Structure 1
């Protein structure tokens, strides 16, 4: 018996020493192919409230309760906190959001430190290849339960989550409808505008800056705005990420004299197809995708740069679900 206890003690000591030299960082990764556009899948991850549609943990633990950031509601800086009677609490914050290709988030678990999750969305012929990965320094726990064991614990949860996400997105894609109107622009529409280029990551800030510059010019010259502001997208990168060449403007009655980088632009007469997007600007990409799918299905050929008209002034309407944006594509 004494010999057995000595051997057991030696084994415990050896295991303790081994855990001190084993790496504490773990990583888990799973992928799935989803028959939906990258924008559709991206939206389900980038809008944290949408996680309720597919989260494996919500399904597993009904005691989980979430609260969400109000500003911002989506993308970089948005967060959700949760409490659970079974699993404790924590917080998830989006650190990077590159529509529609990449998201990185930070996870802070009560008593377990900080970890990171990443999402990559790659367009393929059959839909979107989605990769969900997790890395974190689990401290002593990570040494006791090394990589392979943790992969076996977390991996199935990721697989379940991706399966739920696939089912939800594919069902959503099947049900998705876009109301399209054929609109003929009868008369040219002048606008005071600025043409610029911007990285897709900075799209959220450029509009306010340029509209402020144009508005100041118009106020100084006593020029009256006659319709909702617009943006024309002359060049959009095929990958969804990169440099966008756009023209931002405010419609006016007629051509006026301009200075500096402020110029006159014109929306030309012709045939267009138009749909109305309701909700946050972050989700406009999905509506563009639906309109493009409608055009392909109906053999409609695009004949120029699309533009958006921002019908609702966010300063006058706090309910984001009521924000209206009209999307126009000139067609043959």
Structure 2
């Protein structure tokens, strides 16, 4: 009997490590098309002071505190946050701007876990409006990947990223 339990435990650990290894690199691509002026869309994403208008994290935690550092809308400007009673802490920073077509951002999350994801925003015009494609990338270690799998974090990340783009669409279309 003890042998079967040991085999089951080893199999479970092996499966968890396998699933965790599949989440060591996460890339999530979401998009939305916005009926609005390309400059308005681009500037809404570029301005960290406008981020609260479309932040899914503020919807999830309206008591979140935040502050800005640097010159808004420029490389190096930062949006710092503390949420959930101090349990969520980090900042995002603009790393690259190609006027009208691309914005790159990096995040430095200190709580509830340590992570350094990146966001890339690509902007293109089409017959239906302005399409914003967001690419989220996260690298993690094997054990972090196991926890991401256990807690279903990737599905939550997909949902949150799409919620942010939906809020962006709403914010721009109300201008």
Report the Cα distance in structure 2 between the residues aligned to 1:57 and 1:50, rounded to whole angstroms.
14
CA-CA distance at 1:77 after TM superposition: 1.0
Matched, 1:158 2:161: yes
- Residues 169-225 of structure 1: per-residue CA shift (max 9 Å, x gap): 1111xxxxxxxxxxxxxxxxxxxxxxxxxxxxxxxxxxxxxxxxxxxxxxxxxxxxx
Which of these two proteins has the greater Rg computed from alpha carbons? Answer: 1
Q: Judging changes above 3 Å, is the alpha-carbon distance between structure 1 residues 47 and 57 closer, same or farther for their aligned structure 2 residues?
A: same
Structure 2: unaligned runs, 5 residues or longer: none
Q: Judging changes above 3 Å, is the alpha-carbon distance between structure 1 residues 19 and 161 closer, same or farther for their aligned structure 2 residues?
A: closer
State the SS of the aligned residue for 1:97.
strand
- Residue 8 of structure 1 is matched in structure 2 by 8
Do the aligned residues in 2 keep the contact of 1:31 with 1:130 (CA within 8 Å)? yes
Report the Cα distance in structure 1 between the residues aligned to 2:60 and 2:38, rounded to whole angstroms.
27
TM-score (norm 2): 0.86
Q: Judging changes above 3 Å, is the alpha-carbon distance between structure 1 residues 43 and 17 closer, same or farther for their aligned structure 2 residues?
A: closer
Matched, 1:169 2:172: yes
- Residue 32 of structure 1 is matched in structure 2 by 32
CA-CA distance at 1:83 after TM superposition: 0.5
Do the aligned residues in 2 keep the contact of 1:26 with 1:142 (CA within 8 Å)? no
State the SS of the aligned residue for 2:117.
strand
- Residue 133 of structure 2 is matched in structure 1 by 131
- Residue 42 of structure 2 is matched in structure 1 by 42
CA-CA distance at 1:60 after TM superposition: 0.9
- Residue 102 of structure 2 is matched in structure 1 by 102
- Residues 254-277 of structure 1: per-residue CA shift (max 9 Å, x gap): xxxxxxxxxxxxxxxxxxxxxxxx
Q: Report the count of equivalent residues.
A: 169
CA-CA distance at 1:16 after TM superposition: 5.4
- Residue 76 of structure 1 is matched in structure 2 by 75
Q: Judging changes above 3 Å, is the alpha-carbon distance between structure 1 residues 113 and 152 closer, same or farther for their aligned structure 2 residues?
A: closer
Report the Cα distance in structure 2 between the residues aligned to 1:47 and 1:6, rounded to whole angstroms.
55
Structure with the higher helix share, 1 or 2: 2
Q: Judging changes above 3 Å, is the alpha-carbon distance between structure 1 residues 32 and 19 closer, same or farther for their aligned structure 2 residues?
A: closer
Bigger relative CO (Cα 8 Å, ≥ 6 apart)? 2
Report the Cα distance in structure 1 between the residues aligned to 2:138 and 2:17, rounded to whole angstroms.
22
Report the Cα distance in structure 2 between the residues aligned to 1:99 and 1:43, rounded to whole angstroms.
9
Structure 1: unaligned runs, 5 residues or longer: 173-332
Report the Cα distance in structure 1 between the residues aligned to 2:172 and 2:20, rounded to whole angstroms.
44
Report matched runs for 1:144-293 at 5 Å.
144-145=147-148, 150-172=153-175
TM-score (norm 1): 0.47
Runs of 4+ with >4 A deviation: 19-23
Report the Cα distance in structure 1 between the residues aligned to 2:17 and 2:121, rounded to whole angstroms.
36
Q: Judging changes above 3 Å, is the alpha-carbon distance between structure 1 residues 125 and 77 closer, same or farther for their aligned structure 2 residues?
A: same
Cα RMSD (Å): 2.1
CA-CA distance at 1:114 after TM superposition: 1.3
Report the Cα distance in structure 2 between the residues aligned to 1:21 and 1:82, rounded to whole angstroms.
30
